[in-house]
Amino acid sequence: MVQISIEHLTKNYGTLVALNNVSLKIESGEVFGLLGPNGAGKSTLLKTLVGILRPTSGTIKLDEIEIVASPEKAKSIIGYLPENPSLYTGLTTLEFLQFVGKIRGVADDLLDREISDSLKSFSLEDKRNSLIGSLSKGMKQKVALIATNLHNPQVLVLDEPLTALDPRTRVSVKDWIGSQTKRGVTTILSTHDLDVAQSHAGRIAIIDHGKIVAVDNIEGLRKMANAKSDAQLEDVFLRLTEEQA
Amino acid sequence: MYSCDSPRNRLKIRLGDLPLSLGTVGVLVRYWIKGRFTRATIASLVVGEAFSVIFVLFGSSTYLSFSNKVGLTTGLSEVAGSLILALYIVGLIQSGFNGSGLPVSSSDVDYVFTSPVPPGDVFAAKVLLNSLTTVLFGFPPILVLYLRFSSYYHTGALVAFLAGAVTLMFFVIGLLLSADITLSLGRGIGERRKPLRNFFIILVLVISLLPITLLISEVPGAVAEAARILPNGLAATISVGLVSGTPGTINYLTDLVLLVAWLVGFLVLGIRLSRGHFYEVLEVSVPGVEKFDKPDQTSRLNPRGRSLWSVVRAKERILISRTREARALFINAMFLSGFLVIYALSGSFQSSPTSFLFILFIIGSFGSGTASRWIEKERLWILKSSPVSMRRYVKEVFRARIAPLLFYLTPVTVAVGVPLVLSQLGQPSLLLGVVLALPGALEIAAITMAGGMYFASRYGQSSNDDILSSQAQELADIRRFLFQTVINLIIVSPVIVLVLVSQSLATSVGSGNLPELAGGLVLASVVFTGFSINLLLNRAGDAVRRREDL
């Protein structure tokens, strides 16, 4: 169980301010939703959080582990799924998962078992010897999700995990996210799918132009947006981001 | 409604029994130019162009002064020109077999290939654009090169201009050949036809290697003649002959007619090949779209009980073996081995041991080019979000991907070097140069390949490359290649200088202390090489780790 503390995080790309003094605290075991229009800074925030990007200023801590100071230590407890995960298409599903397991330090015995169980739960057993290049988009997404979780991370960072998936795959991915929540994993979920955010996330942050516009649970966000008590998250989101604009 | 049927676009020509709509071709070319040549792209190309001109001036002047110094009064030879052009052709043949003979981007696939434009028009537009950009950007450095040589031979600027135009025509022929080879790669040709296809590949390679045999003084006249009428032989004969002031107007005209015949031949062949649906054989530089003949494979990684880095190397080897890269490496190996064997047979090494260093530098640069094409691009998220050290990862990729070429070159170097060492035993001062040149050659190749990895990490991999895709990408690659060649040359210069000054050193030290001196110098060059490779690969790892545009 890991708590995430983000303090005064700023990320610039040249003159472009992608993240502007972002501060967040995500409790251990919490599922935290991240919403925002295209180009708001969601992916930059997540990439900075997992150590792919270096912050211009500010700090990110996973419990006491500071991501810039101890990137290897932090990365060993994070599972990251990018928005468009690109995989080694020339490897088979099994080879890819074995490779990822190895670079994430999973013990051999555990790795075999973990891969078999995961392939089974995602109904990919018959694809273990198929080249990834021959899999459908949905199957590739499932493989990427398995890879994200092979080392049983304590923090999951998922960037648009449901993009362009067919309904059946969406259901299985949603179920998977639910199962991780039960396991007590701290999860950050960036999504355009407001239903998923509403149903899975305890608290939601709305980010726009690199700034956090609002953070709260759905009821709190409704209040902030002066929306009705039964207003859908979509309404709330539109009101809050319009105000910001 | 398909607008290309408008009166404006009705102008059609017939080439190879295929009507081409010039209007459609014009629309496509205009769209590609507008879409790809942004201000930033043009600025970088102009900088690259200026750099190329400086590089050409530096290279040609160094070559001429070196030629004078070692007594090669010819300065420039048709054989050397033909060989250099053969290298270009081999590179393009390789690219053709990789499916990159007609460079396409994903936007071509999404918008052009799904439009009702006939494939023949797409082919013509691609070839036209590639040729235009090659001519446009290739002409300044080539003209500068020939002007430098023409001033050396006092043959005048007009001659340099004509020679440049002929060389450019050869470049266009190379592009057409590459495109034709790609078009000939029909997918799903069936098991029975595969041996035929493989035979064709080998035949094309053998023919392209023919000019190298010219290094052998006893080569039969028929082979020399056959090599001479190949496009590179013709282009070298005309360009070098003109610049160096060799008389023979009628011969030049005949050669020019033959060269034009090659151009027209490849063009007609390409247009005929492009009549069918050829889009599926083209290689699009987008991750996740590689095509594999067999979707199911036996897993070969087997990580149980193996170290992390052994698994990383195994992964690289599996990826190479399952993609078209394996074919490219095979072609490289064929070319390099043929080149070295013929070089050894030619006796050039015996007359000038230091030339071996330059030969290996060329080979190292070839390997460096291979290294610089190492691309993981969007897949780097897997590594960058994991706790692995990028420095070590890059080193392991170097071991898996590049080092085999060095192992491959080692026995060839030994085979070439041992007879030479034995023959020089009576001349201690020359022997030192030979003893240093042999490991030095491998060291140079290793350093340049590490340099290639550094450049791939620092400047490659980026999705920005996709913006420069297609013809501009080819040009960017050429400039990067030239740039890294210069940098590599600077890094390896201590090894080269060591060999060059060996004779003076041996004379001043005396034959009694020669073994100690040789041992010490070899050790020093090995240590320097190890240090340089380590430094370059560490920098490469750091470059990947720091980059934010991946």
pLDDT given for residue A4 in this prediction: 95
Q: pLDDT exceeding 70 applies to what percent of chain A?
A: 98
Strand, helix or coil for residue B254: helix
pLDDT band at B355 (very low <50, low <70, confident <90, very high): low
The answer to whether B540 touches B371, Cβ cutoff 8 Å, is no
Q: Are A131 and A90 in contact (CB under 8 A)?
A: yes
What sign for the dihedral angle of Cα A61, A65, A70, A75?
negative
Q: Closest CB to B381: pick one of A71, A82, A102.
A: A82
Q: Are B29 and B125 in contact (CB under 8 A)?
A: yes
Q: Given a cut of 60, is residue A216 above it in pLDDT? A: yes
A interface residues, B as partner, C-beta within 8 Å: 13, 50-54, 71-73, 75-76, 78, 80, 82, 84-92, 94-95, 98-105, 108, 111-112, 128-131, 133-134, 140, 147
Nearest to B318 among A75, A95, A111 (CB): A95
Q: What is the largest CA-CA distance in chain A?
A: 54
Query: How many residues appear in chain B?
Result: 550
Question: Nearest-CA distance from A219 to chain B in Å?
Answer: 34
B9, exposed or middle or buried, with CB in 10 Å at 0-12, 13-18, 19+? middle
- Considering only residues B337 and A63, tell me which one the structure prediction assigns the higher pLDDT: A63
Q: Do B120 and B137 meet the contact criterion of CB atoms below 8 Å apart?
A: no
Answer yes or no: do A54 and B385 touch at CB < 8 A.
no
Q: Which tens digits make up the pLDDT trace of B312-325? A: 999 988 988 887 67
- The answer to whether residues A59 and A14 touch, using CB atoms and an 8 Å cutoff, is no
Asked whether residue B498 carries a pLDDT value surpassing 70, the answer given is yes
Residue B477 — pLDDT band, cuts 50, 70, 90? low
ipTM of the complex: 0.86
Mean pLDDT confidence for B92-112: 77
Cα–Cα distances in angstroms (integers) from residue B80 to residues A121, A216, B352, B463, in the given order: 63, 73, 16, 37
Cβ–Cβ of A86/B377 closer than 8 Å? yes
Banded model confidence at residue A26, pLDDT cuts 50, 70, 90: very high
Residue B412's pLDDT band (cuts 50, 70, 90): confident
- Pairing outcome for strands A155-159 and A78-81: parallel
- B310 and chain A in contact, CB less than 8 A: no
Lowest-pLDDT range of A38-42, B42-46, B156-160: B42-46
pLDDT at A102: 93
**For B135, phi and psi rounded to 5 degrees?**
-65, -45
- The 3-state secondary structure of B14-25 reads EECCEEEEHHHH
Residue with tokens 């060591």: B498
Displacement of CA A127 from its chain's centroid (Å) = 25
- 3-state secondary structure (DSSP) of residue A27: coil
Q: Which two tokens stand for residue B84?
A: 């250099």
Q: What is the pLDDT of residues B276-285, one digit of tens each?
A: 767 766 766 5
Confidence bin at B3 (pLDDT 50/70/90):
very low
| Whether pLDDT at A104 is above 80 | yes
B342 pLDDT higher than 70: no
For residue A8, give every residue at least 6 positions away whose Cβ sits within 8 Å of its Cβ, in sequence order, or none: A21, A22, A23, A57, A58, A59
For B315, nearest residue in chain A (alpha carbons) = A99
pLDDT at B1: 39
**Contact residues, chain B, for A98 at CB < 8 Å:** 299, 301-303, 311
Which of A91, A104, A112 lies closest to B315 in CB terms?
Answer: A91
pLDDT per residue over B207-258, tens digit each? 776 766 666 666 677 777 777 788 888 898 898 888 888 777 788 889 999 9
Closest CA to B502 of B360, B354, B350: B354
Model pLDDT for residues A116-162, shown as the tens digit of each residue: 999 998 889 999 999 998 898 889 999 999 999 999 999 999 998 88
Query: Does pLDDT of B504 surpass 60?
Result: yes
Token output for B109: 């696939």
The two tokens of residue A99 are 């490779």
pLDDT of residue A120: 92
Task: Name the average pLDDT for chain A.
Answer: 89
Contacts by B56-61, CB closer than 8 A, 24 or more apart: B56/B141, B56/B142, B56/B144, B56/B145, B56/B148, B57/B144, B57/B148, B58/B486, B60/B145, B60/B148, B60/B149, B61/B148
By C-alpha distance, which of B458, B349, B471, B361 is closest to B59?
B361
Q: CA separation (Å) from B536 to A115, B484, B486?
A: 37, 12, 15
Better pLDDT: A49 or A184: A49
| B28-35 average pLDDT score | 80
H helices present in chain A, as ranges: 42-49, 71-75, 93-103, 108-121, 137-149, 167-182, 194-200, 218-224, 233-244
Q: Stretch B54-66: mean pLDDT, rounded?
A: 69
Of B38-47, B133-142, B469-478, highest mean pLDDT: B133-142
Answer whether A75 sits within 8 Å of B387, measured CB to CB.
yes
Q: Residue B420: pLDDT above 80?
A: no
Contact B13, B20 (CB under 8 A): yes
Which range is most confident: B53-62, B87-96, B518-527? B518-527
Name the range with the highest mean pLDDT among A77-86, A191-200, B59-68: A77-86
pLDDT-derived band at B132, boundaries 50, 70, 90: confident
pLDDT bracket for residue B494 (50, 70, 90): confident
Using the beta-carbon criterion (under 8 Å), do A108 and B290 form an inter-chain contact? Answer: no
CA–CA distance, B499 with B496 (Å, rounded to integer): 5
pLDDT for the residue B287: 45
The pLDDT confidence band at residue B4, using thresholds 50, 70 and 90, is: very low
Farthest-apart Cα atoms in chain B, separation: 88
Tell me the pLDDT of chain B averaged across its residues: 76
A89:B288 CB<8 A: yes
Q: Tell which residue, B505, B498, B506, B500, has the closest CA to residue B522.
A: B498
Q: Is A186 exposed, middle or buried (0-12, 13-18, 19+ CB in 10 A)?
A: buried
- Map residue B519 onto helix, strand or coil: helix
Decide if pLDDT at B466 tops 50: no
Q: What is the pLDDT of residues B6-21, one digit of tens each?
A: 444 445 555 545 566 7
Given the structure tokens 């530096």, which residue do they identify? B58
Residue-wise pLDDT for B263-308, tens only, equals 999 888 888 888 776 776 676 655 445 556 677 777 888 888 899 9
* Most A CBs within 10 Å, among B106, B297, B327, to test the A interface: B297
pLDDT value, residue B463: 42
Buried b or exposed e, range B45-77, using 16+ CB within 10 angstroms: beebbeebbebbeebbeebbeebeeeeeeebbe
> Mean per-residue pLDDT for B480-503?
77
More confident residue, B118 or B535: B535
- Concatenate the DSSP letters of all residues of B255-286 into one string: HHHHHHHHHHHHHHHHHHHTTS--GGGSPB--
Residue A103's nearest CA partner among A41, A33, A136, A150 is A150
| Contact between residue B79 and residue B215 where contact means Cβ atoms under 8 Å apart | yes
The dihedral region occupied by B288, where left means phi > 0, alpha psi between -120 and 50, and beta the remainder, is left
In the block, residue with structure tokens 């998936």: A165
Beta carbons within 10 angstroms of residue B323's beta carbon: 17
CA angle B199, B130, B268 (to 5 degrees): 55
> What is the number of H-type helices and E-type strands within chain B?
22, 2
pLDDT category at B354 given cuts 50, 70, 90 is: low
Chain A interface includes B304 (CB < 8 A): yes
Looking at residue B187, its pLDDT comes to: 55
Set of chain B residues whose Cβ sits within 8 Å of the Cβ of A112:
304
User: What whole-number percentage of chain B has pLDDT above 90?
Assistant: 13
SS3 state of residue A158: strand
Closest residue to B382, CB basis, from A100, A111, A130: A100
Which residue, among A32, A74, A83, A79, has the nearest Cα to A54 in the 3D structure?
A74
The pLDDT score that the predictor gives to residue A155 is 95
Structure tokens at B216: 């052998």
Please state, as a whole number, how many other Cβ atoms lie within 10 Å of the Cβ of residue B376: 22
Question: Is residue A109 over pLDDT 70?
Answer: yes
Name the pairing type of β-strands A31-35 and A186-190: parallel
Structure letter (DSSP) for residue A124: -
